[in-house]
Amino acid sequence: MYVSDSKIKEAVRLFKKRDGVLCTSEVLDAGVHRRTLYHMRDEGIVTAIQRGVYRLTENEPLSNPDLVIVAKKIPEARICLISALSIHEMTNEIPHKIHIALPRSSWQPELDYPPLKVYRFSEETINSGFQNHFMDGVEIKVFNPAKTIADCFKFRNQIGLDVAIEALKRGINDGKATYREILMYAKLCKVERVIKPYLEAIGHG
């Protein structure tokens, strides 16, 4: 199929404007024809990093492709728990799945890759304490260290109490979260009574 050079250049400019990574819907919404996108894929101008997510081939390989895919395919997701701890360098655990938080009312996401571990949060807890990080030029929503610590205690039965305690120690000792911030989010997550003895034990009560 023939696609004019001008159409290709226009699409490449769009990719560059968006830091080189776009999903199919973003390309189509910007006015690029599906035929142009597929031609660019077939010619090696763009590369599919997952079904429906493309990056400019000329750019450097992505350093965090799994997180980029999640951000592009599930924009309402918040990176949480062990995946958030890993980003904040507050755990030695290696997440084998991307841990994401979604509203209780949202659909169950379906991705071929990467594997996901989905946690359901209330509207109040999912909209509190998250930050926008940029990885490979793509905006990733991640809960901040203090909120992540509180979430770890809330979901301690799923991820392990030892992981939550280690996150608390590292958050405090590395200056990534304050006693007041942790207690604020612990109260929001209804784990204030659970977390307080551990805060006091490390000398910050």
Domain boundaries, the chain: 5-56, 74-201
Residue 85 confidence class, pLDDT cut points 50, 70, 90: very high
Single-letter residue type at 119: Y
| Bridge-based pairing state of the strands 130-135 and 138-143 | antiparallel
Across the chain, what does the average pLDDT equal? 92
* pLDDT given for residue 201 in this prediction: 87
Q: How far apart are alpha carbons 33 and 144 in whole angstroms?
A: 39
CB-based contacts of 94, cutoff 8 Å, min separation 6 = 86
CA–CA distance, 195 with 154 (Å, rounded to integer):
9
122/104 Cα distance (integer angstroms):
6
Q: DSSP assignment of 126-156, as one string? A: HTSSEEEEEETTEEEEEE-HHHHHHHHHHTH
The confidence band for 95, taking pLDDT boundaries of 50, 70 and 90, is confident
Q: Each residue of 114-170: pLDDT tens digit?
A: 999 999 999 999 999 999 999 888 999 999 999 999 999 999 999 999 999 999 999
Fold of 5-56: Arc Repressor Mutant, subunit A (1.10.10)
